[in-house]
Amino acid sequence: MSHPHSSTVRRLLSIIAIAPVLASAETVDLATALRLGGANNLDVELARNTVRQAEAKHAETRSRLFPWFTVGAGYRRLDGNTQDTPGNITDVSKQSYQGGLGVVADVRIGEAIYQSLAAKQRATAASHALESARRNLNAEISAAYFNLLKAQAAMRVNEQSKSLTADYENQVTAAVAAGVAFEADQFRARAQVLRHDLATRKALEDIQLASARLCELLRLPGGLDLRGADHELVPLDFTPPDANLKEMVGRALDRRPELRSREAMLEAARLDTEATVKGPLIPDLSLRANTGGLGGGKNGATGNFDDSSEFIVGLGWRFGPGGIFDSARIASAQSAREQESILLEKTRLRITREVLEAIARVRSIDARLATTRRLLEASEKSWQLSRDRGATGVGGVLETLRAEEDLSFARLAWFELVADYNKAQAELRRACGG
């Protein structure tokens, strides 16, 4: 769908002289910038690393449900007094050596199960947080890109206005030399040229600042000078300004990954709470199993090595701290769950506010675009009539300069609003979960 203001933008771009600011500048379009940002941005990489950590934590908690294995050998030597089982002290000289395979398990089954489930929810939350980081980055890159286009448009407008005023200054200078114009008019025209020159230099600074910001977001090499594709400075239509507000809020609450992340964190907190209440009711498991060989004997005997096996298994319940009736641990887990519930509600309210703010901004700028389009048409007509009138010797220099100033203001205002409108559209798209 074509935006009602698009034709005005294209007409302006076609009549404004396009001059390269720096020959070494690299041109990038919005799609390329978004692709580079998704691949290179450090904030996104940090979010990816958080996902990897959460997944590794989940794998670690699952491993606690399984026993571990040991393989090895040992040697023991005892000389001198020792105490036997009945309690007698005897003088001995003996040795033993052994080797084999062992299986060991010390599992708090209930805690391990709930920790694994909670870790899985936290990994899910981290995945949604990664998606949120990507979407936030897209909106941030879009804003930086349109700031660059806005600065470029301001540069072109001021350059053309400076050129028009300089031409008029030359005409007034010639008229002053011929004695048919006031010298003050010549200096008025000269002052107008200098004002445009100052604005041009400021626009160049804004271009360089916007380029640096975009390079930072895209993680591009230092010193790279970026320029945006000028034809992309047209009003975007991600969401029409007259879209239904209730539907947009509902869409945002359904799609925003931040909300899914907080819901997963709340579920993890709920599982942590259950782990403190129900987990200790599941008995702990203790297992020892060894198989291999044992040899040795009195003094230096070594010739009686043979098979040896041992198996021990036990179940038990823990009471007190870390087990059943641990009221402090239960209260701490319940408090954490309540906190996650509050954070979830705060996230819902924040998302709703962001949608309301974004649509209000889009509607406001859209209305201002309509007014600015009329202002631009009136300023262009006023400028043309003033120039025609001045050519006949009827109009005044001040009138012509004022008309040119009004035209320059209208053009700058137009491009600034188009850039702000596109930034607002990108923010609205993000706010609605796009």
Place 7 in a pLDDT band, splitting at 50, 70 and 90: low
Q: Is the dihedral of CA 417, 423, 217, 20 positive or negative?
A: negative
Return the HEC string of 325-361: CCHHHHHHHHHHHHHHHHHHHHHHHHHHHHHHHHHHH
Q: With 0-12 CB in 10 A as exposed, 13-18 as middle and 19+ as buried, what is 333?
A: buried
CA distance 167 to 351: 53
74-107 tens-digit pLDDT: 878 888 787 777 878 887 888 877 888 888 878 8
286-327 tens-digit pLDDT: 888 888 887 777 877 777 777 878 888 888 888 888 888 888
Q: Does 5 have pLDDT greater than 70? A: no
Sort strands 26-28 and 226-228 into parallel, antiparallel or unpaired: parallel
Alpha-carbon distance values, 18 to 21, 156, 157, 163, 233 (Å): 9, 6, 9, 12, 14
Long-range contacts of 38-43 (CB under 8 A, 24+ apart): 38/134, 38/137, 38/138, 40/218, 40/219, 40/220, 41/137, 41/217, 41/218, 41/219, 42/219, 43/133, 43/137
pTM for the full model?
A: 0.77
Write down all domains in the chain, each with its CATH number in brackets. Answer: 6-69+110-284+326-431 (1.20.1600.10)
